[in-house]
Amino acid sequence: MARTKKDVLYDAVVVGGGPSGRIAALALARSGLQTALIAPLEAPADERTTALWQKSLDLLKDLGIWNEIELNAEPLKKMRMIDGTERLIRAPETVFNSAELGVEEFGYNIVNSKMNDVLAKACAIEANLTCVDDFAEEADFSGTQATITTKSGLAVTAALAVAADGRNSKMRSAAGIEVKRWSYPQTALVLNLDHTLPHHGVSTEFHTATGPFTLVPLPGRRSSLVCVETAETAERLKTMNKALLARELEDRARSVLGKFTVISEPQTFPLSGMTAQSVIAPRLALLGETAHVFPPVGAQGLNLSMRDISDLVSTVATAKQKGQDLGSLTALKPYETKRMSDIRSRTNAVDMLNRSLLTEFLPVQAARSVGMYLAGKIGPFRRLLMREGMAPGTGFQLRP
């Protein structure tokens, strides 16, 4: 049951009920801060899936909630990349195997609604966390505290506000933080499938001329699909009879998983990108899609958000130890320093990879093919790519 307190000054208030917001609120509360979370108490229904890499798993384990999430997650043991562009210059098929790094899996894939349910329950019973079952409507960051006013008129004040309210964030706008936005001539079709052949923990990604066609394992003989297409084709696929849609998708997948059955309602999402010009302002820190958005390439979205959370919690803990004002720019500056380089490098890498699939420029096609060839043939380079995907920039120490 939600708990609300009026006229209480919190250490931190988190705005946003998606995975990033709930995990951030839980992490801040577990670090000893009196924290409020402004979000609907009931977790959102979301049949999309998320692949969680090792650093994200470490955070969830530290919070004591991974064991329950794992019950509905599927380990990802291999990543298979297949060039399906049918162009003159094509990359060879490349397989990345987690066993080569001495670990059982790269990460896990889970349906968002399953993860959201666990997060909502954990937040509801956390002693240091007050759950405000409402939406944030207005924000004032001009004083010695941040004040967030909800739709019902409740004012929540805290030394620090954390905005995790999405790409069209009211909190970010209230703080006057500018963003850079861009779009792609692509739309992602997202759905879940049953199939007749086992996936054996192998994620298969076809690189096509319109973008990735990716099958990611789920428990049992099920997989999630992200099919990036033109807007017109994505809309045609979305409105097809499910039996016909399954047949077309099976053909596109070259029947690698046998016969398909569509088990969720197809959804489409135009692809776009966004980065905030800063991730801090007086009394405010941004994380998740409030700070960065990019295409679903390499399952980097929520994993980047989880690194936001880890760095924010670390920054705030240090500020508290030093006796600093948690919402001051002095206290938050280390968070900005840590995050902006990671966000920029990850955004640029995803953008470059996505655009390399769209270009007709032969030198770019050749460069992508050479890169995949080297990944397949040169062990140290392949292992470097795998380590970077699992734990970016950390020199993750795994078996050489």
User: Per-domain residue ranges for the chain?
Assistant: 9-65+112-180+272-360, 75-109+185-271+370-390
Sole residue written with tokens 């099976």: 250
With pLDDT > 90 as the criterion, what percentage of the chain qualifies? 66
**3 has pLDDT over 50:** no
The pLDDT assigned to 336 comes to: 97
Residue 336: how many other CB atoms lie within 10 Å: 17
Residue 176: how many other CB atoms lie within 10 Å: 10
Q: For residues 25 and 37, is the Cβ–Cβ distance under 8 A?
A: yes
49-53: strand order across its sheet: 49-53, 107-111, 74-76
The pLDDT assigned to 352 comes to: 66
Confidence category of residue 361, pLDDT binned at 50, 70, 90: very low
Alpha-carbon 5 to chain mean position: 31
What does the pLDDT look like over 223-244, one tens digit per residue? 999 999 999 999 999 999 999 9
Q: Please say whether the structural domain 9-65+112-180+272-360 has been given the CATH code 3.30.450.20.
A: no
Confidence category of residue 46, pLDDT binned at 50, 70, 90: confident
Residue 316 in tokens: 């705030």
What is the Cβ-side half-sphere exposure of residue 259, based on CA atoms within 13 angstroms?
Answer: 5
Residue 231 in tokens: 């807007």
Least-confidence region, from 26-30, 54-58, 172-176, 193-197: 54-58
Q: For residues 44 and 18, is the Cβ–Cβ distance under 8 A?
A: yes
CA distances in angstroms from 299 to 1, 179, 303, 365, listed in the order given: 33, 22, 7, 22
What is the Cβ-side half-sphere exposure of residue 293, based on CA atoms within 13 angstroms?
Answer: 21
Q: For residues 265 and 191, is the Cβ–Cβ distance under 8 A?
A: yes
Confidence category of residue 357, pLDDT binned at 50, 70, 90: low
Mean pLDDT of 117-133: 95
The pLDDT assigned to 43 comes to: 75
Residue 329: how many other CB atoms lie within 10 Å: 12
The pLDDT assigned to 341 comes to: 87
CA distance 259 to 26: 41
| Backbone φ, ψ for residue 232 (5° rounding) | -65, -45
**337 has pLDDT over 90:** yes
The pLDDT assigned to 99 comes to: 72
- Bigger pLDDT: 174 vs 55: 174
SS3 of 20, please? helix
* Alpha helix segments (H runs only) across the chain: 19-30, 54-62, 66-70, 112-125, 170-174, 231-238, 242-252, 301-321, 329-358, 362-377, 379-390
**374 has pLDDT over 60:** no
Q: Please say whether the structural domain 75-109+185-271+370-390 has been given the CATH code 1.10.40.60.
A: no
Residue 30 in tokens: 């577990």
pTM equals 0.87
Amino acid, res. 316: V
- Angle of helix 19-30 versus helix 301-321 axis, rounded to 10: 20
Confidence category of residue 145, pLDDT binned at 50, 70, 90: very high
Amino acid, res. 325: D
Residue 149 in tokens: 């006013």
Confidence category of residue 67, pLDDT binned at 50, 70, 90: very high
What does the pLDDT look like over 258-273, one tens digit per residue? 999 999 999 999 999 9
Sole residue written with tokens 């020199």: 395
DSSP summary character for residue 175: T
Q: For residues 145 and 158, is the Cβ–Cβ distance under 8 A?
A: yes
Q: Which residues have CB under 8 Å from 319's CB, separation 6+?
A: 325, 326, 328, 331, 332
The pLDDT assigned to 373 comes to: 42
